[in-house]
Amino acid sequence: MEENSMYNKLLLLPLFQGLCKEDFTAILEKVKLHFQKLPAGSCIVRQNNACEGLFFVLQGKIQSESADQTHNYTLYETLEAPYVIEPYSLFGMYPQYNASYHTLTPANIISIDKSYILTELNKYAIFQLNFMNLLSNRAQTIYRRLWNAHIGDTQSKIINFLLLRCTTTNGFKRLHIRMEDLADLIDDTRINVSKILNELKQEGLVSLSRREIEIPDMNALIAYNQTNKRTK
C-alpha cells in the first residue's frame, strides 16, 4: 500500500484526525508499523487475549465475535474499514480483547505495538486528545445506555440490550441466544420477547431462526423504536 494511500486511510480514523502530513511522516520514520495482507477467514485477535497494540483495518470487512459463556449468548458484528480494533482495551485494569476478530474478505491491516504508542505516538498532543475523546465518548455512551437497560417496554429493553453490547450501530448484527435467556437478561417474559421479535420481523427489521436474531440495520431499528415511543 502506498504511503499516501495509507496516510489518507489512517486520517479517516478518529485517533489520527487532525494530524498533519509532516507529523505522520515523522511517525512512519520512528514507529514500527506491521503491515499484513490477510485472506478471508483469517483470525486477527482472539477474545480474552492480552491487548498489546492497536490494529487498524485499512481495507476489507471483518467480523467481531463476542461470547458470553455465563449468560449463554454470542454477538456477531460486521465491521468495515477504516476501523481500529478496541483501542479502549489497550489500558486499564483488564487490557484484554472483549471479542475475537476475523476477516470476512481479504483485508489490509496495520498494527502498532503498545511500546511505540507509549514512547512515540504519545508525544503528539493531537493523538493524546483524540485518544481521550474516544475513551470519554465510549464511557459516556455506555453510561447513558446503562440507565435505560431495564427501563421501558419490551421492545425498548431488547434494543437497549443490543446497544449495550454492540461496538457500533453500523453494520450487520447477529445474536445467538435462546428466547428465555434474552427474557431473563432484560427482566421480562419469554412470551413478551417472542411477541415483540415477531412484530419486528413483520416490519422487516429483524430476521429470526432457531436461537438466532439477525439485524441488518441497527439504525433503522433504533429509529423505528423512537417513532413508536412518540406515537404512543
Residues 109 and 192: their CA atoms lie apart, in Å, by: 43
Query: What pLDDT sits at residue 13?
Result: 82
CB 97, CB 86: distance < 8 Å? yes
Report yes or no on 218 lying in a domain: yes
Task: Compute the C-alpha angle 118/142/203, nearest 5°.
Answer: 130
What is the count of structural domains for the chain?
Answer: 2
CATH of the domain at 41: 2.60.120.10
Q: What is the structure's pLDDT at 201?
A: 97
Neighbours of 152 (CB within 10 A): 15
CA 60/CA 172 separation, integer angstroms: 15
pLDDT of residue 126: 87
pLDDT at residue 145 in the model: 74
153-170 burial code (b ≥16 CB/10 A, e <16)? ebbbbbbbbbbebbbeee
Same domain, yes or no: 178 and 90: no
pLDDT at 230: 57
Which has the closest alpha carbon to 81: 109, 53, 100? 109
* Within a domain: 137: no
Q: What is the DSSP letter of 71?
A: T
Task: Clarify whether residues 90 and 155 are in a common domain.
Answer: no
Q: CA torsion sign, 147 to 150 to 151 to 153?
A: positive
Per-residue pLDDT of the chain (232 residues; tens, 9 = 90+): 555 676 777 777 888 888 777 877 777 777 788 899 999 999 999 999 999 999 999 999 999 999 999 999 999 999 999 899 999 999 989 999 999 999 999 999 999 999 988 888 888 888 899 999 988 988 888 887 777 666 789 999 999 999 999 999 999 999 999 999 999 999 999 999 999 999 999 999 999 999 999 999 999 999 999 887 656 5
- Domain range spanning residue 55? 3-122
| The last residue of a domain, from among 107, 122, 137 | 122
Q: What is the pLDDT of residue 125?
A: 87
H-run or E-run covering 184: helix 179-185
32: nearest Cα among 96, 129, 121: 121
| 166 shares a domain with 109 | no
Among all chains, which residue has been given the C-alpha cell 484484554?
96
Instruction: Name the burial class of residue 202, with classes exposed (0-12), middle (13-18) and buried (19+) by CB atoms within 10 angstroms of its CB.
Output: exposed
Tell me: do 115 and 33 sit in the same domain.
yes
108 and 177 share one domain = no
Amino acid 229: pLDDT = 64
Same domain as 18, residue 58: yes
Residues 18, 111: one domain?
yes
93/160 same-domain check: no
Q: Is 140 part of a structural domain of the chain?
A: no
- CA angle in degrees (0–180, nearest 5) for 121-127-130: 150
In a domain, 135, yes or no: no
